[in-house]
Amino acid sequence: MTRLASTPTRDDAVAAEAVRAGDQAAFSALAERHRRELQVHCYRMLGSLEDAEDQVQETFLRAWRNRAGFEGRAPFRAWLYRIATNACLDALARAPRPAAAPPADGGPPVEVSWLEPYPDHLLEGVAPSEEGPEALTVAKETIELAYLVAIQHLPPRPRAVLIMRDVLGWSAKDTAELLDTTVAGVNSALQRARGALKRHLPERRLEWEAGADPSEGERELVRRYVEATERRDAEAVAVMMREDARFAMPPQPGVWTGPRAIVDAWIEGGFVAPEFGDLRSVAST
């Protein structure tokens, strides 16, 4: 987890000096070092890459406008996270997200129409060292669509609490200060958020561990999936699916349940068309 630095660093002193000197260029250069991780943070809060980038820009504007509030006694990075979180909460208050549509079979709601995948290439360079504080800020299991769908069902403030405590590893005290609430309030919100998350995550997702190596069975399943995809063999892919499989392609509307419905939707969308003939898949683990 990404722990909050307990003591100011050299960067914090540089930022404080830039504030005192009114040096916007130096201040902005230091803030820019945190752009990508703040974008990932805002993406988790909002579920939209475009909206996340807007709020990162808003964060930098607010940071400079309110620079007098940063004196270097607390970490600059934590200060930026506080501004970014509140910018996202303000954005969600101005334009609340619509309720997710429940599937026809009465299962948990799965469609989050505004959700967009986070491009892998944007994660490059975010955490140059596994020892750095940003290393797990971009942990894949917390930006995959299954996780993003689940946390988008949480109200904004409990979502913020869950992200700060369980994803970034902040203490209850630091999270309470960030959200201008109490430690008891943070703990209560976290308990509710964790309960709601379990209801919305796929059952086996709760068993996944960060960095866990795939089993031989999982590797074989991936191999079969890759081969079937490259052959444009929708029926072979359907055989690999569980009966309760669900498919959605945010931000496109629609949720399909069950192998037959999913495969029919793929075929209708052109999966078996000749132009898919050059499709190549590569297993990344």
**pLDDT on residue 138:** 46
Judge whether residue 84 has pLDDT over 90: yes
Q: Which helix (H) or strand (E) holds 105?
A: none
Asked if residue 251 has a cis previous peptide bond (ω within 30° of 0), the answer is yes
**pLDDT on residue 2:** 47
Backbone angles phi, psi at 30, to 5 degrees: -70, -40
Query: For residues 164 and 167, what is the distance between their CA atoms, to the nearest angstrom?
Result: 6
**pLDDT on residue 227:** 87
What are 156's two structure tokens?
A: 């904004």
For the entire predicted model, the pTM comes to 0.66
Backbone angles phi, psi at 260, to 5 degrees: -65, -45
User: Nearest Cα to 246, choosing from 103, 142, 135?
Assistant: 103
Q: Which helix (H) or strand (E) holds 142?
A: none
Residues 189, 193, 194, CA angle at the centre, nearest 5°? 120
- The mean of the pLDDT values for the chain is 78
